[in-house]
């Protein structure tokens, strides 16, 4: 069986989605899994051994450039992909549903109209499932996969899931502690409304006696990281 997962963005959503890969493979090792992702986040998936092929679309770039021609060119690429037995839209947005619908397949699956923020997306699927929108996002993703492929995942296996993020690059992190738990903080987001207040993040580092590391991706996020460090009594 050859399936495709549509999860275009963003960083956190893709990571939460990647958890399903190991359970699909445990259910049936022969299933080939391809992933459709926006160009911006393709690097997250590159070294994942359970993914056979990554198909990149440049929808964010088309939006940023306000380029209608690039937008339709990227959608046109999807029609040329090989046929899949099942395409699963794990995002539940209108744009991801359109992407899923354009990919040649025997069956397109997603969340039903009561289970997503953009209910119109559900009308583009051949089959949809009701999975409470207020449910934990990881459980929502796994439930959708369970329904699509008709198998079950034990909850205890979710709690004891194996690592699923990989990189062939070598990184030197001198701040890693051997004595305390290492906790990673990511203060930045694609939208300022999603950013947790820096003072509260600093308070968290003071309340928890562990080793905190802060990562950033641009100059603005670097400034956020430095501000948290200044406000924290704990070494970050």
Residue 34 domain-assigned? yes
Strand partners, 105: 84
Query: Where are any strands of DSSP class E within the chain?
Result: 2-6, 32-38, 53-57, 86-89, 108-111, 127-129, 182-185, 211-214
Residue 174 domain-assigned? no
Do residues 138 and 192 share a domain?
Answer: no
Do residues 21 and 54 share a domain?
Answer: yes
- Radius of gyration of the CA atoms of the chain, in A: 20
Which parts of 50-197 fold into alpha helices (H)? Answer: 59-65, 68-79, 94-102, 137-149, 155-159
For residue 22, the model assigns a pLDDT of: 98
**Cα atoms found within 13 Å of the Cα of residue 36, Cβ hemisphere only:** 30
88, burial (CB in 10 Å: exposed 0-12, middle 13-18, buried 19+): buried
Do residues 34 and 78 share a domain?
Answer: yes
Residue 122 domain-assigned? yes
Residue 176 domain-assigned? no
Do residues 36 and 128 share a domain?
Answer: yes
180, 186, 233, 185: which is closest to 206 by C-alpha?
233
Domain boundary among 159, 174, 198: 159
Do residues 197 and 154 share a domain?
Answer: no
Q: Is 5 helix (H, G, I), strand (E, B) or coil?
A: strand
Do residues 187 and 154 share a domain?
Answer: no
Do residues 107 and 43 share a domain?
Answer: yes
For residue 236, the model assigns a pLDDT of: 56
Residue 114 domain-assigned? yes
Phi first, then psi, for residue 5 (nearest 5°) are -105, 130
Do residues 88 and 203 share a domain?
Answer: no
Residue 13 domain-assigned? yes
For residue 217, the model assigns a pLDDT of: 83
Do residues 95 and 200 share a domain?
Answer: no
Do residues 105 and 221 share a domain?
Answer: no
CA angle 84, 87, 90 (to 5 degrees): 155
For residue 235, the model assigns a pLDDT of: 56
Do residues 96 and 200 share a domain?
Answer: no
**Cα(54)–Cα(74) distance, integer angstroms:** 14
> pTM for the complete prediction?
0.84
* Token couple for 49: 């051994």
Do residues 42 and 150 share a domain?
Answer: yes
Domain count, the chain: 2
Residue 111 domain-assigned? yes
* Token couple for 81: 């992909």
Residue 29 domain-assigned? yes
Domain that holds residue 218: 182-231
CATH number at residue 28: 3.40.50.2000
Residues 166 and 151: beta-carbon distance below 8 Å:
no
Residues of the chain with pLDDT under 70: 234-236
Residues 34 and 5: beta-carbon distance below 8 Å:
yes
């Amino acid at each position: 069986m050859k399936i495709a997962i549509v999860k275009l963005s963003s960083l956190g959503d893709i990571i939460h989605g990647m958890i399903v890969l190991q359970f699909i493979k445990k259910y049936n090792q022969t299933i080939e899994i391809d992933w459709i992702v926006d160009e911006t986040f393709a690097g997250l998936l590159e070294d994942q051994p359970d993914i056979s092929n990554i198909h990149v679309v440049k929808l964010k770039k088309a939006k940023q450039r306000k380029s209608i021609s690039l937008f339709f060119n990227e959608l046109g690429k999807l029609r040329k992909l090989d046929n899949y037995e099942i395409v699963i839209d794990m995002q539940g947005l209108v744009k991801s549903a359109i992407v899923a619908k354009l990919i040649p397949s025997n069956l397109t699956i997603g969340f039903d109209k009561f289970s997503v923020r953009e209910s119109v997306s559900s009308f583009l699927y051949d089959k949809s499932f009701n999975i409470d929108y207020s449910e934990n996002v990881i459980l929502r993703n796994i439930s959708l996969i369970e329904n699509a492929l008709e198998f079950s995942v034990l909850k205890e296996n979710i709690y004891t899931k194996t690592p699923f993020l990989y990189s062939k690059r070598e990184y030197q992190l001198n701040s890693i502690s051997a004595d305390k738990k290492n906790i990673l903080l990511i203060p930045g987001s694609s939208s300022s409304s999603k950013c947790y207040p820096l003072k509260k993040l600093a308070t968290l580092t003071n309340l928890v006696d562990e080793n905190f590391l802060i990562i950033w991706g641009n100059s603005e996020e670097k400034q956020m990281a430095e501000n948290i460090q200044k406000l924290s009594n704990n070494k970050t």
